[in-house]
Amino acid sequence: MYRYDEFDKAFVTARIAEFSDQINRRLVGEITEEEFMPLRLRNGVYLQLHAYMLRVAIPYGTLSSQQLRKLAYIARCYDRGYGHFTTRQNIQFNWPRLVDIPEILKELAEVEMHAIQTSGNCIRNITSDHFAGAAADEFADPRPYAEILRQWSSLHPEFSYLPRKFKIAVVGAQTDRAAIQLHDIGLWLKRNSSGKLGFTFYIGGGQGRTPMVAKLLHDFVLEEDLLSYTTAIIRIYNLYGRRDNKYKARIKILIHETGLQKLREEIEKEFAVLKASELKLHQSDIDAINTYFRAPDLTDCSEWHYNLKQLRLNDSAFGDWVNQNVTAHKHPDYAIVTISLKSTGGVPGDATSDQMDTIANLAEQYSKNELRVSYHQNLVLPHVALGDLKTIYDTLLATGLASANIGLISDVIACPGLDYCTLANARSISVAQQISTRFSSYERQMEIGAIKLNISGCINACGHHHIGNIGILGVEKKGTELYQLTLGGSAGNNCAIGEVTGRGFTADEIVDAVEVVINTYLSLRQSSEESFINTYRRIGIELFRQALYGTTRKIS
């Protein structure tokens, strides 16, 4: 894991002093709310429906035990005993007081954390593969590059007042687990034919009211040019991106209106002059960062395989959990454990202080002190010996964290919705709770198989509804909450935006509608091997529409 050096510490401390001063000036009325807003936002402070909200950065979703314990402590002392892990691998506290925020930031700084650029029209937290450094299908670890980008983007003088927010994601495995094609810049770390590392650049992905899958900008940019090329892109965006309408201000709209080819020419021109600048990454720069991300020492033990097999046979619930929540590790005697924050009837992504402490302890004892946050709003223990799985499971079971549902229908992604958010039109949490309750039977979930169900409480799409195999979007119509259904969305290697089925459903109808979709799929799939998304891709949306609305009803 990256560790702060003296400079990083001094930098974050200076930032806290600066922001504390800004808060004070706001409190005494020296600056207007209009002037304060962009300042607080770039420090992660939102004004929500009922209170201020603080979003803390978890760089590329990587946490240490000590850091998670600190988050638990902050939730306990400054909030209401819980925190919410977000779809950008961050954590949000929903009830802090503005006057406490400088104190909270000091607490965070003690464990090398901050809230810098978790909001605002700037470069946001860099996201990455939550299995980075552990996954069996990885060709290169993306975290060092995510860290290089994190540092470079912090308090960037040129890119602090962009037309709109700017999101970057980076992966380095065969499977894209970070939905890179839904980011303003998506980076895929690869090796070219001569063995050199570099990046495939995708640009202009995003969700919101105009969802778009990112386009391929450049097949292979050498790793030494990572910052120069990124700077070229963002400079062009900063100069030419629209500022007249915030809904048309993301880079995806600039690409759409200007054309990819023309924009690429502009970017290449800019890159040509930046290539030899100080932005160039030297091998020594990369090596220096790489030392922080050395793989942990892992012990070989083939015996664990046999023991695990026995334990799975003896305890079928444990077996189910291993099937669903455990992923192959680079090291054959180790595994990656995903801890589900999606209990039946619970709030997706929420964890109490006690749960965070328990998970922090597990990471300390069994996962080399390391944890990850996935954009699916779950937590991950990246380096677990096969021999420790049962002990971990038993502890999770006792804490209500043993839901064996990763990648199943109750592993719902949801935004905070109208329960917290000023932007929301409808509640998301209650729908998520109803869905996880309706489909709580493990057997039924297994029968349905791999599926992604995502819920957003408004068109801004924080709950990623566009890329849910089943997506639910809360809208407001004539004063009531209505839920639109989209089908066929997908993140990762086969990224696609879902299609709206037709008229929306009321809060009372929406879960029934989901059930209709599920039953339609079950009746039409070729075999239990054919996943929901594959069935959808084979048969299209029409049969689902007929099932939902009847054959005679006109679809709007």
- Tell the smallest beta-carbon distance from residue 124 to other proteins (Å): 15
- Tell the smallest beta-carbon distance from residue 304 to other proteins (Å): 40
Instruction: Say how far apart CA 512 and CA 330 lie, in whole Å.
Output: 42
Binding test (CB under 8 A) with other proteins, winner from 139, 161, 292, 306: 161
Binding test (CB under 8 A) with other proteins, winner from 14, 295, 301, 317: 14
DSSP assignment letter at 294: P
Is residue 159 a contact residue for other proteins (CB under 8 A)?
yes
- Tell the smallest beta-carbon distance from residue 153 to other proteins (Å): 8
Q: Is 369 left (phi over 0), alpha (psi -120 to 50) or beta?
A: left
- Tell the smallest beta-carbon distance from residue 271 to other proteins (Å): 11
440-459 footprint of other proteins as x/- string (CB under 8 A): --------------------
**Whole-number Cα distances in Å, 491 to 176, 214, 384:** 8, 11, 27
Tell me the β-bridge partners of 476. 481
- Positions 24 through 53 that interact with other proteins (CB under 8 A): 28-32, 35, 38-39
Residue whose C-alpha is closest to residue 138's, from 177, 194, 186, 196: 177
Residue whose C-alpha is closest to residue 175's, from 490, 471, 409: 490
110-139 footprint of other proteins as x/- string (CB under 8 A): -----------x------------------
Is residue 99 a contact residue for other proteins (CB under 8 A)?
no
- Tell the smallest beta-carbon distance from residue 99 to other proteins (Å): 15
Is residue 267 a contact residue for other proteins (CB under 8 A)?
no
Is residue 105 a contact residue for other proteins (CB under 8 A)?
no
Could you give the 3-state DSSP secondary structure of residue 154?
A: coil
Residue whose C-alpha is closest to residue 483's, from 428, 436, 521, 433: 428
- C-beta closer to other proteins: residue 11 or 549: 11
- Positions 320 through 359 that interact with other proteins (CB under 8 A): none
- C-beta closer to other proteins: residue 30 or 219: 30
- Tell the smallest beta-carbon distance from residue 241 to other proteins (Å): 9
The two tokens of residue 530 are 């054919």
Strands 505-506 and 480-487: antiparallel
At 365, the amino acid letter reads: Q
Tell me which stretch binds other proteins (CB under 8 A): 125-133, 272-280, 329-337, 548-556.
Answer: 272-280
- C-beta closer to other proteins: residue 70 or 167: 167
Element (H, E) at 285: helix 283-290
Give one DSSP letter per residue of 23-83, joined into a string: HHHHHTTSS-HHHHHHHHHTTTEEE-SSSEEEEE--GGGEEEHHHHHHHHHHHHHHSSSEE
Binding test (CB under 8 A) with other proteins, winner from 101, 105, 109, 148: 148
Contact call for residues 211 and 247 (beta carbons, < 8 A): no
Residue whose C-alpha is closest to residue 338's, from 293, 287, 375, 303: 375
- C-beta closer to other proteins: residue 107 or 266: 266
Give per-residue burial for 403-438: e unless 16+ CB within 10 Å, then b.
bbbbbbbbbbbbbbbbbbbebbbbbbbbbbbbbbeb
Is residue 194 a contact residue for other proteins (CB under 8 A)?
no
Contact call for residues 67 and 111 (beta carbons, < 8 A): yes
- Quick one: how far is CA 440 from the chain centroid? 24
Instruction: Say how far apart CA 48 and CA 318 lie, in whole Å.
Output: 40
- Positions 196 through 235 that interact with other proteins (CB under 8 A): 235
Instruction: Say how far apart CA 98 and CA 23 lie, in whole Å.
Output: 8
- C-beta closer to other proteins: residue 192 or 277: 277
Number of residues that bind other proteins (CB under 8 A): 45
Binding test (CB under 8 A) with other proteins, winner from 245, 284, 551, 552: 284
Binding test (CB under 8 A) with other proteins, winner from 162, 203, 472, 510: 162
Helices (H) and strands (E) in the chain, counts: 18, 21
Is residue 508 a contact residue for other proteins (CB under 8 A)?
no
- Tell the smallest beta-carbon distance from residue 233 to other proteins (Å): 12
- Tell the smallest beta-carbon distance from residue 288 to other proteins (Å): 6
- Tell the smallest beta-carbon distance from residue 330 to other proteins (Å): 28
- C-beta closer to other proteins: residue 28 or 479: 28
Is residue 193 a contact residue for other proteins (CB under 8 A)?
no
Contact call for residues 490 and 452 (beta carbons, < 8 A): yes
Return the ∠ at Cα 101 (arms to 147 and 91), rounded to 5°: 45
- C-beta closer to other proteins: residue 19 or 439: 19
Binding test (CB under 8 A) with other proteins, winner from 20, 66, 160, 391: 160
Is residue 275 a contact residue for other proteins (CB under 8 A)?
no
- Positions 163 through 182 that interact with other proteins (CB under 8 A): none
234-263 footprint of other proteins as x/- string (CB under 8 A): -x--xxx--x--------------------
- The residues of the shown chain that bind other proteins, judged by CB under 8 A, are 5, 7, 10-11, 14-15, 17-18, 22, 28-32, 35, 38-39, 121, 148, 151-162, 235, 238-240, 243, 273-274, 277-279, 282, 284-285, 288
